[in-house]
Structure 1
Amino acid sequence: MDARFTRMDHHDGISRYGASLMAAVAPYAEVTMLIHDERQLALLPALPWVKINSPLSPLELFVARHVNKLGADLVFCPMQTMGSWGRKYPLVLTLHDLIYYEHPAPPGFLPAPVRVLWRLYHKAYWPQRVLLNRANVVATISHTTLALMRKHKLTKRPVRIIGNAPQTERTPRDPSLAPEKSLAYMGSFMPYKNVETLIRGMAELPDFTLNLLSRITDERRAELEALVPIGTKVVFHNGVTDAEYDELLLRTTALVTLSKAEGYGLPLVEAMALGTPVVVADTEIFREVGGEAAYYVPADSPHDFAAAVRALDSQEKWAASSTASVAQAETFSWDASARELLSIAQELGSARPGAACH
């Protein structure tokens, strides 16, 4: 399993997805992780590993030469960019979303040459088709993304859902205990995330604190601070640990996001698993993840956002939402995702009891 997209200090969405899926598959098959830097091991399960080139290296074109030597029965990559020229093994590539066709600004952490290629790549769908058609099977994480893939005819290969899920062994909060008057946002500050509307909505929530948890550049922070209404409380944490994140989720009123585009929305299901209600933009993917438990509002309406938060001022409504959130989160499972990947391996004729997954 390709673990080279794992971060070295803290997980992002794809990093957590890959690491969690590897841990879930390990009880059922012999798993070897492919890494490119030993610092990645701090965020990965304790499994056998092999160090190869970075996925951003020009050597990625020839990565199959190294993987062939490992005798892999199946290779799973949590992205769609893994090199495949000359491969001698079945390959599963993953497409998480199509966000960057509508919102083409690349993530800031990518090197400048990669950001240029990123923009060019997302100007048309044919490069995506070329990448995906190299696989035996294409994985995605939601029915929403699957529908978009079919709409744009992105691949001729079979497409299967290997979904995201919350972390295991997390104890939900007691719904009878009133939450503190705070809100939590976990996500990047790219324009499509629409954090501006959250901040504007705080004008009608002066007794609440909005906690913006993710790391942020000084420039972007200055842009958002200029929008904070006078007399409101907005806190920029500039990154929190997993433990700090869980601790806040266990006492806050709600997790909030008005993002206009997502492939899944992992923060939603993480919050719901702990019994924390979610107030989110009314989008197809959030409807898929949040089900009947979430509060949905128009993405560009600060007033409707504030009204949804105010509805949770009622302890009775908050407790009911907390209970419903836990039930909704339980519909997602890493074990189910692991079993789906193993099913794919078996269908490709490459997996047997004790067979290796790389």
Structure 2
Amino acid sequence: MPTQPCRVLTGDRPTGALHLGHYFGSLQNRVRLQAEGAELFIVVPDYQVLTDRDVAEHLAERVEDLVLDYLAVGIDAAKAVIFTHSAVPALNQLLLPFLSLVSVAELHRNPTVKDEIAHSRQAAVSGLMLTYPVHQAADILFCKAGLVPVGQDQLPHLEAARTIARRFNSRYAPGGSPVFPEPEALLSAMPLLLGTDGGKMSKSRGNAIALGASEDETARLLKGAKTDAERRIAFDPVSRPEVSSLLQLAALCQGRDPHTVAAEIGDAGASRLKAVVTEAVNEYLRPIRKRRADLATDRAHLRAVLARGNARANEIADATLAQVKTAMGMRY
């Protein structure tokens, strides 16, 4: 009897263009997992845009652009389930019983929520922000994902999903077959890439190179990247984080070791480093950008991909919600 492929749940908020940090930290890994036979679920959490802002601007365009990036990097739309939060009512219904399984104190203690509140664009913390981990638990558990690729900073959210799964099974399926599996984290081995300002690479901070950026724009951004005063280029992530991040980026694009890239540049300084990185990035992204430009001419195709994904996600969410209602004695 064939084993069921592992389900992997991942996604990105539609708050801006995906960039090199997303690609090497997550997107590349999604393509690999799909090639290895994983059943890939990619949520576009449009409702969650509102966790740290008052309005969701240009949302339709940004959702389509996410789909565009996914297809351009190699996600197979015929196999992956790419869907939006707002199109799957049964998924969002899971939020209500899940909220009953966590305390307000636990939500306040979540370190990821604390960090997101600290960087929020809102004058006051909304209920949506506070319950963000429970929304993510619904995203993960509705399709009974076994693996969730996360960064170290997202581990508290995944632990919240594991806790909710465990408590639901204990309360509503004691001694029987559990309704939900406890998903495992798949931590990325990829080192952190810094933004051009030396801070965390972010869609909202203007310090990232978007996958869809032009070669000229890429060159301009990298020319302004922060380095340091030492002329000799060396890979030392602790003492020289900005220079080392640029070396890491060139090495990733070239499939080489960053120490080797540094040795070749030697005493040529930061200007040569930036030129090497620019050439490496543009060469690596050229086929991705070509596919992206070709796909962008048919926006109807992007919407069709979403429609198929939404339909499949609804089938699964409806079945899961039916299980939940049965376990809770709510089948009237």
| TM-based fold match above 0.5 | no
Q: Which has the higher strand share?
A: 1
Q: TM-score, normalised by structure 1?
A: 0.32
Q: Could you say which structure has the greater relative contact order, defined with CA pairs below 8 angstroms and 6 or more residues apart?
A: 2
Which has the larger share of helix? 2
TM-score, structure 2 normalization: 0.34
